[in-house]
Amino acid sequence: MKVRIKVIGFDADDTLWDNQPHFDAVIAEFTALLRPYCSETAAHEFIHRLQVENLPLYGFGAKSLTLSMTQAACRLSHYQIGAADIERIIRLGRKLLAMPVKLLDSAEDVVRRLKEKYTLILITKGDLLDQKRKLRESGLEKYFHHIEILCDKQVEDYRELFDRLRLQPEEFVMVGNSLKSDIIPVLELNAHAVYIPYPATWQHENVDNYDPNHQNFVQVDKLADLLPILR
């Protein structure tokens, strides 16, 4: 990796701490709850489609998922579902908003060491209040020079962020688990990207094709692999 890198952007969910497994577990409980009305596969497909359809209005995060699950439950049950089950769905969502933050492998060590040499910024998306809560509970807040919580992570969002923070793309590397949100838009702006795949990435974040031969792209297995690259 080029020595002129000065700033490292970290994604948070499923890059520094685990997140998607909690969402997957809640969705599994939701589809089980709907078993009297439809197959778990059908419920799973429906909630995924509805979440994507609701993104422009609801955005990402646990509250959005809860609203989509409630809406899905009404429709999938042909309006037969009872209020006790609706309350169970609300409670599933509350569980997500209170989920413990578990750091991925050596996250704190890696972040602390990289801070000695680079300016670190946290770039995440989703629910403002919940992301701030997770960051506070993670204990990692003190290592970051700047925290940015975006509505979305598309090319324009990164461009606006680079402008605002006066970042030169060639001095910036983004580290994350989503090709769609952390890697491809950043490469498009001629910045650098390190991809750390995470097994449970949400299917909406998947992309069919990308160019792993891009000169600014590196893929590694785990956070600790950043150290030899960026030492």
List the x/- string, 146-185, binding to a second copy by CB under 8 A: ---x-x----------------------------------
Rounded to whole angstroms, the Cα distance separating 54 from 36 reads 25
The structure tokens listed for 104 are 């991925």
Please tell me the count of residues contacting a second copy according to CB under 8 A. 32
DSSP letter string, 135-156: HHHHT-GGG-SEEEEES--SHH
Closest to 167 measured CA to CA, from 3, 9, 1: 9
**98 is a site residue for a second copy (CB under 8 A):** yes
**128 is a site residue for a second copy (CB under 8 A):** yes
**90 is a site residue for a second copy (CB under 8 A):** yes
Choose the binding region for a second copy from 14-22, 93-101, 168-176, 187-195 (rule: CB under 8 A): 93-101
Figure out which of the listed residues 84, 116, 142, 228 binds a second copy, where binding follows CB under 8 A. 84
Figure out which of the listed residues 82, 139, 197, 212 binds a second copy, where binding follows CB under 8 A. 82
The structure tokens listed for 32 are 């089980």
Question: Cα separations (Å) of 127 from 46, 67, 130, 222?
Answer: 22, 13, 5, 26
**71 is a site residue for a second copy (CB under 8 A):** yes
Gap between the terminal Cα atoms of the chain: 10
**81 is a site residue for a second copy (CB under 8 A):** yes
Figure out which of the listed residues 23, 30, 46, 58 binds a second copy, where binding follows CB under 8 A. 58
Q: State the alpha helices, DSSP H only, in 59-200.
A: 62-76, 83-97, 107-115, 128-138, 155-164, 184-188
The residues of the shown chain that bind a second copy, judged by CB under 8 A, are 57-59, 63-64, 66-67, 70-71, 73-75, 77, 79-84, 86-87, 90, 93-94, 97-98, 127-129, 132, 149, 151
